[in-house]
Chain A
Amino acid sequence: MKSVSIAVMLALLPLRLAAQEPLDPALLLKPPADAWPTYNGDYSGRRFSPLTAVNAKNIDALGLAWAFRLPSDNRSGASTSIKATPLLVHGILYFAVPDHVWAVDARSGREVWHYRWESKGGIHIGNRGVGITGNWLFFETPDCHLVSLDIRTGKERWRQEICDLNQYYYGSVAPVIIRNHVIVGVSGDDLDIAGYLESRDPETGALQWRWSVPARPGEPGAESWPSEDAMLHGGGMTWVPSTYDPDLNLMYLGTGNPQPVLAGKGRAGDNLYTESIVALNPDTGKLVWYFQSSPHDTHDWDAVQTPVLFDSEIDGRPRKLLAQASRNGYFFVLDRATGKNVLTKPFIKTNWARGIDSKGQPMPDPAKEPSPAGTLVSPSSDGASNWYPPSLNPQTGLFYVSTNRSFSMFYLTDLADKPQGWGGNDRGGYGESYLQAIDYRTGAVKWSHRWYGRGLSGLLSTAGGLLFSGDTAGHFVALNPSTGDILWHTGLTANISNGPITYELDGRQYVVVGAGDTLYAFWMIGDRGESGARKAADDRRSR
């Protein structure tokens, strides 16, 4: 009997391994229900799922399927908060925290493999995930490497240095794959360095192109800096994944804050292309257009927030659009073919801008720059929004963003003509946290839910009439996306720390979310859930 079962297991083994198949790059263009093949689920950045098996009518039965807690021996010295959005490829979830990558069975939550990187340093604040194409996985390390692994084994394939650790750069962003380009960015805000975006060859890791965020001397945009020296040390990190429109063949990147971070005296001007939404050709790395969310920022308000792509009618005309709820508190809608501003509206009250200019860009109030005695500014440096993924729901016409209304005192401490490093700091304060639902045709906040504490969360909305978010007290919450009414919640061991995802396997819909050191998967409990899921699957097949 025993030998029979072993024989059966051995017979099944090749099938089990065969399940770990390569990712067909075509899936990146139109992901099926059983895949989450790129950071945002698809290239649009909407984080809207068409799945309906879990829906507003049956969500009472949503319960825990499994939990995967990071092993405790991997916690020393590194942030092990799961900020990565896991990728789902052929039934396996792939995600990272700094220096570690896991492959986990999406049905059971069991580890398939684990890869550990020996670190030479760097800021270990977070890793936002991996990129995959074919059998190859790509991730960044805090000590400035891009590493490729074989998804079947977790074995290292190659490593390439993508930045200089000695200059205090570090790696954190999830690579995005566009055809034969692995798009990677860099982080680092301590020593006046220039941010850039790179494309690397998926086979070898060789550099294909590099785009500098600060304009290069002699090129357009250079006039927005006072000197070559200021440009070469001008900041603009690239630490949130880009979105991509295959029809226009344009990728959209939000860029980080200029440097020195809080002291702007040595970098008079708009400081292009920091704190901008830029459209790049992914084959050449050439800039096609830009829009600057925060000209000449002095508050650390990286405009890296996901540029979300969507199509909608504006004034009766169908438009290809892009929306960003920026860290500075403003919601922007742009024409994504041209970069022309369609609307600019605050999504939370702030106190730093004098108004909106003719290009739709907020104009900073010089009186709200950091000062030696302190300047009271809202939002604080953490911003009105941050890197947490927002969600855009075409059924409700709403853009959802996790928001802080916060205040802090900004101090200028480096009064030199050429300040260096941060040149100041901000301290404080007070903060209120909200889930904001913004009408993307008008920019008006249609509904707002205030949480009791302070914190931000990644978001996901679904065609099942659900909006998933964390609160600030360790709960995972589902709301009615039209009204903001709370429909369901469950208490976890930490606040939601990434963007939730959803997928369907074997006729059952899963919702997966990271909270601190644990990845949680939910599904419909009992007969009601299973039959509901099967019915939904049958319905889809019969359509």
Chain B
Amino acid sequence: MRWSQVISWAAVFALTATAAVTTRANAGQGIGAPGPADKPTVDPVKAAAGKNTFVQNCAFCHGLDASGGERGGDLIRSLIVARDRKGEEIGKIVAAGIPAKGMPPFTLTPAQIEELSQFLHQRVAEKASRNAKPINIVVGDAAAGEAYFNGEGGCRACHSPTGDLAHVATRFAPQDLQLRMLFPPRPGAGPPIDSGQRGPAPTQITVTLPGGEQVRGVLVRIDDFAVALKDANGSYRSWTRSPDVKVDVQDPRAAHYALLDKYTDRDIQNLVAYLETLK
């Protein structure tokens, strides 16, 4: 529901690249994050200790993951946990129990209560997070992926498993590899061109002026009203868009974008499995 406006008006063509690595992270604590600004920060050491306490005393009814069981309620969606900060609300229930629902009282130390509270707040934060990592995306058939790479996908036109893609699986985690294949980063997202590392290939552009002169270069910016490039000498040049000024944009990633309408999900799985063999 939250909608992050993935826009950079200053660098229009950097957009897709930045989006590819965008994480829609919760902002953390304080103003701007989901929930109250004074919600507790989780200390992982205390939360780990709290987990032990939970497993020994609570998990039998509330489930190992605190999501509720046949006898005990869901503590992730619990209003008591939501209103708790450092164990003050949870501690009351633990100490008194809820006899009407069959929950007995427990004798825990204040430190144990705080740790238990930290564990539950950690579980809530995990569930509310939008940043969980995929469980396993290498589930395809590598041989079928290789066939698609060499055939239908047309990947061989630009890429080689012994050339630019040699050892690619050692450079990127599987999800990064998958996302870079589907949505290759555009300049602006990768390492700077002068850094010596391999960055995204620039988008080329040819501008044909009214007299017929052609200027080629690397696209800097384009919209309906102006176009700018860096020419072969590294000079920045720009023009007002008009019917007399023709532009031809050549994005080396265009074939990737065209595949988005053609891939099946199985094709994607197979391609990732194949790329994962390029260790």
Contacts and interface: CB of A to CB of B under 8 A. Distances in A.
Interface of A: 77-79, 81, 119-125, 142-143, 164-168, 170, 187-192, 229, 233, 237, 239, 256-257, 261, 300, 302, 349, 367, 371-376, 378, 382-383, 386-387, 407, 409, 411, 413-416, 418, 420-422, 424-425, 427-431, 451-456, 471-475, 477, 486, 489, 491, 494-495, 497
A489 B225 contact: yes
B16 A376 contact: no
Nearest to A422: B130
A140 to B, nearest CB: 15
B157 interface: no
Given A421-B127, A429-B16, A456 B5 contact: yes
Given A187-B1, A191-B127, A430-B16, A143 B135 contact: no
Given A429-B16, A474-B9, A371 B33 contact: no
Main secondary structure of the interface of A (DSSP, over half): loop
A201 to B, nearest CB: 27
Interface string B152-196: 000000000000000000000001001100110000000000000
A452 B241 CA distance: 13
B16 A431 contact: yes
Contacts of B225: 473, 475, 489, 491
B269 interface: yes
Nearest to B221: A473
Interface string B63-81: 0010110000010110100
Given A413-B132, A431-B6, 17 more contacts: A77-B30, A123-B32, A166-B79, A187-B1, A190-B26, A373-B136, A373-B269, A374-B268, A375-B265, A420-B74, A421-B127, A430-B16, A430-B260, A453-B9, A456-B5, A475-B224, A495-B5
A77 B137 contact: no
B36 interface: yes
A121 B36 contact: yes
A407 B79 contact: no
B37 A428 contact: no
6 smallest CB-CB distances across A and B, nearest first, come from A121-B37, A453-B12, A421-B127, A413-B132, A473-B223, A189-B1
30 contacts: A120-B38, A122-B37, A165-B36, A167-B82, A168-B128, A189-B2, A191-B35, A349-B261, A373-B272, A378-B260, A382-B4, A382-B6, A411-B137, A416-B65, A420-B74, A421-B128, A425-B130, A428-B179, A430-B19, A430-B257, A451-B223, A452-B223, A453-B9, A453-B12, A473-B225, A474-B10, A475-B223, A475-B224, A477-B224, A489-B225
A428 B145 CA distance: 21
B268 A376 contact: yes
B20 interface: yes
Contacts of A166: 35-36, 79, 82-83
Main secondary structure of the interface of B (DSSP, over half): loop
Contacts of A373: 134, 136-140, 265, 269, 272
A367 B82 contact: no
Contact of A261 (B1, B3, B132): B1
A266 to B, nearest CB: 10
Interface centre among B9, B137, B138 (most CB of A within 10 A): B9
Contacts of B65: 416
Interface residues of B, number: 73
B57 interface: no
Contacts of B26: 190
Contacts of A486: 224
B103 interface: no
Nearest to B84: A166
Contacts of B268: 374, 376
B33 A376 contact: no
Contact of A167 (B2, B23, B79, B133): B79
Contact of A431 (B8, B15, B79, B124): B15
B110 interface: no
Contacts of B16: 429-431, 454
A415 B135 contact: yes
A415 B67 CA distance: 13
B104 interface: no
A281 to B, nearest CB: 26
Contacts of A229: 74
